[in-house]
Structure 1
Amino acid sequence: MTQHVLDDLVARGLIGQSTDLDALRADLSEGSLTYYTGFDPTAPSLHIGHLLQLLTMRRLQLAGHRPLLLVGGATGLIGDPKQSGERAMNTKDTVAGWVDSIAAQASPFLDFEGPNGAQLVNNLDWTREVNVIDFLRDIGKHFPVNRMLARDVVASRLESGISYTEFSYVLLQSMDYLELSRRYDCRLQMGGGDQWGNVSAGVELVRRADSRRVNGLVTPLITKADGTKFGKTEGGAVWLDATLTSPYAFYQFWIQAEDAKVGEYLRLLTFLDVEEIAEIEREHQTKPGLRAAQRRLAREVTTLVHGQAEAEGAELASSALFGRGELRELPESTLAAALTEAGAREVPKGTTIVDALVASGLVDSKSAGRRAVSEGGAYVNNERVEDPELALDADTALYGRWVVLRKGKRSVSGVQLV
């Protein structure tokens, strides 16, 4: 017997909050149901916080339901209120460009052919012609101000200040659900856990305006073991765009997943069966040092986002840089991307290994560099170095200019000879 898609979502931990799961189950069981998730163009690329939504959309489509991929050409001009303060307004041309790039980036995750083929929609199409009088009469009248003030993000901003523009964002997003309900018989909106206020407001607007019951569901926010928000690094977001976060850096992000969370990430972000994931978890608990679960996670998610060839290249680079593979088998482009992500710096030809270790950031002083060499903990292209005066030249380097440096087992960087 085929598993109901809702049971699969429950088993994977994909349901954070919902309006009425029994009602949603009944609607999903009736036949193909149209649903949507919205993505606001507030940056040139989606990041891994959006990836969960795209994969959840795909799960429902594989179960026979029809996705609407909404890119917020209108809502992106306003921006969902943030806890930290007012958003900077981007120009209309900038937002329009981001609409196109995000639509192109999100589309490969869905199938646009067949009876339940996805459809791309832009809320600017129905928002640009709405005049302010009609908006206030037809939409605004359904929103009690006291309930809007009680929303967490609004309440937290009342003292520091929130503009009427951001305060009104929920009306615009809710209008999306009303329009999609009328145009496409859409009966489910999905989103991230931080969107529950907007999702539930849209459900309520459809009920008030059209006396129609529709569904809302949000996934939980993905967090680290300490409860902090998942998906950020010291440098900012981990982007799905390969020009902003290279496939190697993307792969490395997943390799570093915490032992306590790797099973959860496998359930949320891959299409592996939950039974197979449970077996991976059992093996990982037996031999956590092998990090087999993290390697499987990194391979699966990188393949989903960047394709099999890039995933294999990132996996090969990761293995080679840490001494488990042959560096000379790496294409120069892969090697260069990996070393750049690892913090490689330019140094003149003839630089000594000690000076290169300092320049790469692997040690903080020449004395520390000499100590690393004397203790047998310094490596050039995965070969242990014994001479602290070793000069790096084109013969030493890979492709005549790249040198992989390692201190101990885990600290890797490099230099580019110029």
Structure 2
Amino acid sequence: MIYDELVARGLIAQVTNEEEIKQLVNSGNATFYIGFDPTADSLHVGHFMALSLMKRLQMAGNKPVVLLGGGTGYIGDPSGRTDLRSMMTPETIQYNCDCFKKQMERFIEFGNDKAIIVNNVDWLLKLNYIELLRDVGAHFSVNNMLRAECYKQRLEKGLSFLEFNYMIMQSYDFYHLYKNYGCNMQFGGDDQWSNMLGGTDLIRRKLGKDAYAMTITLLMNSEGNKMGKTSKGAVWLDPNKTSPFEFFQYWRNIGDADVLKCIRMLTFLPLEQIEVMDEWEGSQLNEAKEILAYELTKLVHGEVEAQKAKSVSHTLFAGGTDDSNMPTTEIEAKQLTDDAISILDLMVLSGITASRSEARRLIQQGGLFINDNKVESIDENITSEQLKNGIRIRKGKKTYHKAIMT
């Protein structure tokens, strides 16, 4: 049964009405939604956990509703934030929504009686403020809202009235989807619990106690975001932001303590196979990491790119020279000074480090190599002649990059 599988994979954190939810999901009669606020022009690994969940439930006969937050994107979710999000223009929000939609089509099957995609800009921007206050706001207790974790953590540092409205907007989304699309279930990360309960409560207050609306929260956003962060930022699903090789290498280099958890939560490998891997230790964990990296790269970028990334990874770690699919930074002549570029500038330009100071520390700690030769000095320069032939940069033991003159 799919519900038991979600539990076994460690996805379920909290639920309301567990027996009813289990019956609805297992029978394939759930119409459920997950929301995606378009805060960037690409989905990231944190979103991938949600997409894989949608795929699992769709395969079990349930109907996903993908909710793009084109309307809530005007406000910004305060959950997990220490500051106010920068305000995006309507054009940027729409562009990001379009990018999300294209990427989601790789995972979710859209069409009649399959999955649908909706955008809350279509109803939130039409709301009359006074009517909203009277019709929806009257059902929310400010005292209860202030006790919500997503707001409590922001009160000391400052919570804008704009963000304070986010819970009402998200709750209204569930109410709207319930009434107009028969959506009887919502999923979200554990940091969304208060907002989700607000939606369930609004439906029952507006439509009566018999209204059939349920919530499930998953260790989805918080775990996914934590797993999907590197020193350079998020691990993106867009190959132009995180190449298939970089994506593969990220999962190949994940910590020993996380590898089996990620395989269980993110891949579609049978639980029976994963249970055998639970006994693996030592060098076997490296094999588990490669399985994880291959399976996720195949899901996100396709089997051909996954095989390429795996092949390059094997070649590099075996001391080979095939770097044709390695992430590459192209250097232009105008970026050189006296036919050379400082190693510190090159590290920042290629994205190997976020700053010159970080590059300096990396070199001083002996962790930077050019063509397998350790960089000994922070004053080293790379010449145009070297760049014309292309150089291979290695950070530590596992991060590879190439730089070449255009």
TM-score over 0.5 (shorter chain): yes
> Please, what TM-score do these two structures have when normalized by structure 2?
0.82
Match of 2:48 among 34, 37, 51: 51
Task: Name the stretch that deviates more: 103-112 or 167-176.
Answer: 103-112
2:396 & 2:159 partners in 1: Cα distance? 51
Match of 1:22 among 2, 19, 33: 19
Kindly provide the CA deviation profile for residues 317-361 of structure 1, in whole angstroms up to 9, marking residues without a partner as x: 22222235x434x54xx23x2x549xxxx999x99xxx9999777
Aligned to 1:272: 269
Match of 1:245 among 242, 246, 253: 242
Write the mapping of 1:8-407 to structure 2, written as runs, cut at 5 A: 8-82=5-79, 83-113=81-111, 115=113, 117-211=114-208, 212-221=211-220, 229-282=226-279, 284-285=280-281, 287-288=283-284, 291-323=286-318, 326-328=320-322, 331=324, 334-335=325-326, 337=327, 339-340=328-329, 364=363, 380=371, 401-404=389-392
CA contact (8 A) 1:347 1:417 kept: no
CA contact (8 A) 1:347 1:416 kept: no
Aligned to 1:388: none
- Alpha-carbon spacing, 1:186–1:321, altered in 2? closer, same or farther (3 Å): same
DSSP 3-state at the match of 2:32: strand
DSSP 3-state at the match of 2:247: helix
What is the CA distance between 1:105 and its match in structure 2? 1.5
- Alpha-carbon spacing, 1:185–1:321, altered in 2? closer, same or farther (3 Å): same
What is the CA distance between 1:45 and its match in structure 2? 1.2
DSSP 3-state at the match of 2:185: strand
CA contact (8 A) 1:222 1:230 kept: no
CA contact (8 A) 2:3 2:26 kept: no
What is the CA distance between 1:23 and its match in structure 2? 1.5
What is the CA distance between 1:164 and its match in structure 2? 1.1
Q: Which amino acid aligns with 2:281?
A: Q
What is the CA distance between 1:30 and its match in structure 2? 4.7
Question: For structure 2, which runs of at least 5 residues remain unmatched after alignment?
Answer: 348-358, 374-381
Identity %: 38
1:177 & 1:356 partners in 2: Cα distance? 52
DSSP 3-state at the match of 1:153: helix
2:15 & 2:69 partners in 1: Cα distance? 23
What is the CA distance between 1:153 and its match in structure 2? 2.3
- Alpha-carbon spacing, 1:222–1:254, altered in 2? closer, same or farther (3 Å): farther
What is the CA distance between 1:392 and its match in structure 2? 9.8
Q: Which amino acid aligns with 1:197?
A: S
Q: Which amino acid aligns with 2:147?
A: A
DSSP 3-state at the match of 1:130: coil
- Alpha-carbon spacing, 1:39–1:356, altered in 2? closer, same or farther (3 Å): closer
2:132 & 2:393 partners in 1: Cα distance? 62
1:148 & 1:359 partners in 2: Cα distance? 49
- Alpha-carbon spacing, 1:356–1:68, altered in 2? closer, same or farther (3 Å): closer
DSSP 3-state at the match of 1:208: helix
1:136 & 1:129 partners in 2: Cα distance? 14
2:397 & 2:115 partners in 1: Cα distance? 47
What is the CA distance between 1:5 and its match in structure 2? 0.7
Kindly provide the CA deviation profile for residues 212-266 of structure 1, in whole angstroms up to 9, marking residues without a partner as x: 1311111115778xx9933211111111111111111111110111111100000
- Alpha-carbon spacing, 1:323–1:356, altered in 2? closer, same or farther (3 Å): farther
- Alpha-carbon spacing, 1:274–1:340, altered in 2? closer, same or farther (3 Å): farther
CA contact (8 A) 1:15 1:220 kept: yes
What is the CA distance between 1:63 and its match in structure 2? 0.2
2:405 & 2:89 partners in 1: Cα distance? 42
> Please, what TM-score do these two structures have when normalized by structure 1?
0.80
What is the CA distance between 1:113 and its match in structure 2? 3.7
Q: Larger Rg: 1 or 2?
A: 1
- Alpha-carbon spacing, 1:29–1:305, altered in 2? closer, same or farther (3 Å): closer
What is the CA distance between 1:20 and its match in structure 2? 2.0
